[in-house]
Chain A
Amino acid sequence: MIQLDAVTKRYGDAYAVRSISMTAEAEQTTVLIGPSGSGKSTLLRLIIGLTQPDAGIVAVDGQQLTPTNVQSLRRRMGYVIQEGGLFPHLTGRANAALLARHLGWSADRIDARIGKLTQLVQLDPDRLSQYPTELSGGQRQRVSLMRALMLDPDVLLLDEPLGALDPMIRADLQDDLRDIFRRLGKTVVFVTHNIGEAAFFGDRVVLLREGQIEQTGSMTTLLDDPASPFVTNFIQAQRAPLEQLSVEDRE
C-alpha cells in the first residue's frame, strides 16, 4: 500500500503537486490521469524517491520514505518509463539482471528468474542477447518490465509505459500487462493521459488537475457522477471524436 499525506512539491514558484493526500491500495491498479502538467509523473517520482516533497509524507507499506531507506524501498518497487529507460550498453538479459547481479545473486538463480520472467512477459528468449537499439519498441517495454519485476517487488510504478508504441502493439501489450498485474497481485500505480487506458487498467482512477486531485473513484463513477465540469470535459475531449464518427456512421 502506498500513502501520500498532504504532499506538496514546488519547482520555483510553480506548484507541481499541491497538498495531495491519496492511497494506492495493495494489489490494486491505481491510475493517475490528467492533462500535461497536472502533476501525475511528479507523483510517481515522489513515490520512488527520485524527487523529495517540500511538505507532506510519502509512505510505502507504512514506512515513510527517507534518504536512509530510499534505496532499500526502491528495491521493493519496479519502475517502468515511457521509452523503457533500458541501458544501451547492456543486452536485454544484462539490463534485466543488473540489480540482481549487483546484489550478488548466483548465476543459476538469475537464469531461473530470467527464464520465468521471459515466459511471463511473453518475450522470445533469443531477444535477450540483443541490445536495446536492436529491439522493437514493444520488445523494449517487455524487457523493461522484466527488469522492474526481477526482484519480485510488491509495487509496480509505470509512467506512460505504452505511450511511445504504435496502436496494434499497444493493444497487445495492454492485454498482457493487465493479465500480469492481476496474476501477480501487484500494487500498481499507472500514469497515463489516455482515458481508454485508464478505463482498461484502473481499479481506481485519480484525475489530477494543476497539481491537485479533481476526483477519485472508478471510471464509472467519473463518467456517471463527475465532481466538476472539468471531469466531464476531460473525458469528453477524448471520447467525442469517436462518438461523432459512430453517429455519422449510423446515419
Chain B
Amino acid sequence: MLHNSTLDSRPSPPLSPLVSLLSSLLLLPLLTAPAHGQATDSTLAVGSKKFTENVLLGWMGTHLMRAEGLSVTHREELGGSRFLWEALRRGDIDAYPEYTGTLRQELLANVDVAPGALADTLARYGISMTAPLGFNNTYALGMRADHADSLGIETISDLQAHPTLTLGFSNEFMERSDGWPSLERTYDLPQSARGVDHDIAYRGLSSGQLDVIDLYSTDAEIQRYDLRVLRDDRNHFPDYEAVFLYRRDLTTRAPAAVAALKRLDGRLPADTMRRLNARSQVDQVDESEVAADFVNQALGLDAAADTDTRWERLRRHTGEHLVLVGISLGLAILFGIPLGIMAAKRRVLGPGILAVVGVIYTIPALALLAMMVPPLGLGRVPAVTALFLYSLLPVVWTTYTGLNDLSGPLLESAEALGLSAGAQLWRVELPLAARSILAGIKIAAIINIGAATLGALIGAGGYGQPILTGIRRANLGLILEGTVPAAVLTILALALLEGLERGLLPRSMQS
C-alpha cells in the first residue's frame, strides 16, 4: 500500500490541454473563492497521503508550524504520492511527508539520482527536504516474537538454518523486483513461499499456520501481534526513510515553518512511529490528537488537536459536498443541453460531440480526477471540473435523443406554422424533449453525488472524507458517516427533481 498505488503510476494524461482550456473557461468564478483548506497568501498548507502514518506526520508538521504562530491547514488523506508531488510543485501545498524510496523509485524514477544526491536533484524541482525523521518504513520480514526467540532468529540470514519454516507473503511482495524473488537469492533461502492476502497473513501468523510474513517496518500490527522484525543484515531492501518535503521558497516566505519541520529531525525512531500508528489504527484515536500528544511530550509544545463533533463534521462535509455537486451539475446542465442540441442539429459536429462525451464517461471517475491534478492542482476546482465532465454524458445524450425522437409530423407542423428555427426549438422541440432531458439530469445527479465522494482524494472534502478515514481505520461508523448522508442527498435530489418535473411540465407531458 505504502509504496504502490494505482494512482501513482498512471501515465501522463492525454486530455489535459483540453481540460485546462475547458476548466479555465468554465471555472473562473470558482477560482476566486478558495476552497476549504486551500493555501492562500497568508495560510500555509501541509498535505498528507491517505494512510495513517502519513496523516500522523502531516498533523505533526501542522502542529509544529502552528506553534510558531503560523496559520496552517492540513489537507489530509490525499489520493497518492503523485498528487502530493504535483500539488507541492504547483504550490497548492507547502510541505508533506514523503519517503526517500518513493522519491527514487517512483517520483524521480525517470531521473538518474546518484547516491547521496537526492537533495540536489530535488532542488532542481524547487523542492527541499529535511533530514530523515528517524525511521525507515521499508519492507521487512516478521515473525512472532516468542517463536523467533525460541529459534534464536534475529536477522533474515538466520532463516537459512530453519528450512521447515512456512513463509507467506503478500501477492505484491511475491511479484516485486525487490520482493521475494530477489530476496531469496540475496539470502540464499531454502524455503519456498506462497502468496496470501496481507490481512489474512497476520491471522495465519498468530494461529501458527505461517511462521514468517512480509510487513512494513512501522506497521501498527507489529505492536499489536507482538512481532519481531528481522534485521535486513545484507541491506537487501531499499531505504524508505521518512522526510518532510517542502517548497524551497518557504525558506524565504516562512522561515519559521521550515525551522518547525526541522524540529522533527531524528525524533521518530521506528518503534516510536509503530506505537503512534498503533494508537491511531488499533485504539482508533484521532490522528490529530495522537500527533499533538507526541509533539507535546517529545518537543515540549502545547498543541491542541482539531476536534470536531460528529455534527460539526457532518455539517462541513455536507456543505463541501453540496458545493461540488451543485456547481458541477449546474455546469453540466448549462453546457450539456446546448451540446445535446448541437449534436442533434449539426450533422457534422453531432457524432463528434457524442463520441467525446462518451469517451470521457468511459474514463473511470477516479482516473478522471487524477487527470485533473497536474493542470489544476488540488481542491475544489479540479474536482468540480472532473465531476462536470463526468455528468455531461447523460445530459447531452438525453437531450440529443429527446430531440431526435420527436415525431416528424409535429416538427413539420411547427415549421409549416412559420416559426423561426429558434422559436421552433424553444417553444416546441425543447418542451417536447423536456421529459427526456429531465431524466438525463436525474441520472447525472445520481452519478454526480456518488462520484463526488471521490473528491476527497484530491482534497475537495465532502462525504468522501469520512469514508476514506473509515476505510483506512476499518471503522464502519466513519464509513457510514459518509455513505448514509450521500444516500440521503441522492434521495432528496431526486425528490427535488421530481417536484421540478411536476411543476414545470404540463399535465399532458407527465407520466
Contacts and interface: CB of A to CB of B under 8 A. Distances in A.
Indicate, yes or no, whether A interacts with B: yes
A75 B416 CA distance: 8
A74 interface: yes
Contact of A87 (B416, B420, B432, B434): B432
Nearest to B506: A89
B417 A147 contact: yes
Contact of B427 (A81, A86, A102): A102
Interface string A89-123: 11100000011001000000000000000000000
Nearest to A82: B409
B432 A102 contact: no
Interface string B495-511: 00000000001111100
A137 interface: no
A242 to B, nearest CB: 32
Contacts of A50: 412, 415-416
A75 B415 CA distance: 10
Identify which of A77, A85, A132 gathers the most chain B CB atoms within 10 Å of its CB: A85
Interface string A58-90: 000000000000011011010101010111111
Contacts of A98: 417, 419, 427-428
A181 interface: no
A81 B506 contact: no
B506 A87 contact: no
A71 B421 CA distance: 10
A87 B423 CA distance: 14
A88 B416 contact: no
A165 B507 CA distance: 25
Nearest to A50: B412
A208 interface: no
B506 A131 contact: yes
B410 A71 contact: no
B508 A99 contact: no
Contacts of A77: 416
Nearest to B428: A87
B125 to A, nearest CB: 60
B413 interface: yes
Nearest to B509: A89
B413 A102 contact: no
Given A74-B417, A147-B417, A85 B432 contact: no
A105 to B, nearest CB: 14
Given A99-B417, A102-B419, A85 B506 contact: no
A98 B419 CA distance: 9
Contacts of B418: 71-72, 74-75, 99
B409 A83 contact: yes
A179 interface: no
B419 A85 contact: no
Among the interface residues B410, B414, B417, which one has the most CB atoms of the partner chain A within 10 A?
B417
A189 to B, nearest CB: 13
A71 B422 CA distance: 13
Interface residues of B, number: 22
Interface string A11-48: 00000000000000000000000000000000001001
B431 interface: yes
A133 interface: yes
Interface string B429-440: 001101000000
A5 interface: no
B409 A131 contact: no
Interface in B383-431: 409-410, 412-420, 423, 427-428, 431
Given A98-B417, A99-B418, A89 B409 contact: no
Given A90-B506, A133-B508, A81 B417 contact: no
Given A81-B409, A131-B506, A132-B508, A87 B419 contact: no
A72 B417 CA distance: 10
Size category of the binding interface on chain A:
20 to 34
A243 interface: no
A139 to B, nearest CB: 14
Contacts of B427: 98, 102
Nearest to B412: A50
Nearest to B422: A102
A54 interface: no
Contacts of B507: 131
Most chain B CB within 10 A, of A45, A81, A87, is at: A87
A142 B423 CA distance: 24
A9 to B, nearest CB: 16
A59 B409 CA distance: 24
B413 A88 contact: no
A99 B413 CA distance: 11
A85 B409 contact: yes
B417 A89 contact: no
A134 interface: yes
Contacts of B415: 50, 74
A77 B415 CA distance: 12
Nearest to B409: A85
A58 B431 CA distance: 33
A79 B417 contact: yes
Given A50-B412, A79-B413, A89 B419 contact: no
A98 B410 CA distance: 14
A45 B412 CA distance: 9
B508 A85 contact: no
Interface string B358-373: 0000000000000000
A48 to B, nearest CB: 5
B508 A81 contact: no
Given A71-B420, A75-B418, A147-B417, A89 B412 contact: no
Contacts of A87: 410, 413-414, 428, 431-432
Nearest to A71: B418
Nearest to A147: B417
A50 B411 CA distance: 10
A77 B419 CA distance: 12
Contacts of B409: 81, 83, 85
Contact of B412 (A85, A90, A99, A131): A85
Nearest to A81: B409
Contacts of A75: 418
The 3 tightest CB contacts between A and B, nearest first, are: A85-B413, A131-B508, A74-B418
Given A87-B410, A89-B434, 7 more contacts: A72-B418, A74-B416, A88-B432, A89-B509, A98-B427, A98-B428, A99-B418
30 contacts: A48-B416, A49-B416, A50-B415, A74-B418, A75-B418, A77-B416, A79-B417, A83-B409, A85-B409, A85-B410, A85-B412, A86-B413, A87-B410, A87-B428, A87-B431, A88-B410, A88-B508, A89-B431, A89-B432, A89-B434, A89-B508, A89-B509, A90-B506, A91-B506, A98-B417, A98-B427, A102-B419, A102-B427, A131-B506, A133-B508
Interface of B: 409-410, 412-420, 423, 427-428, 431-432, 434, 505-509
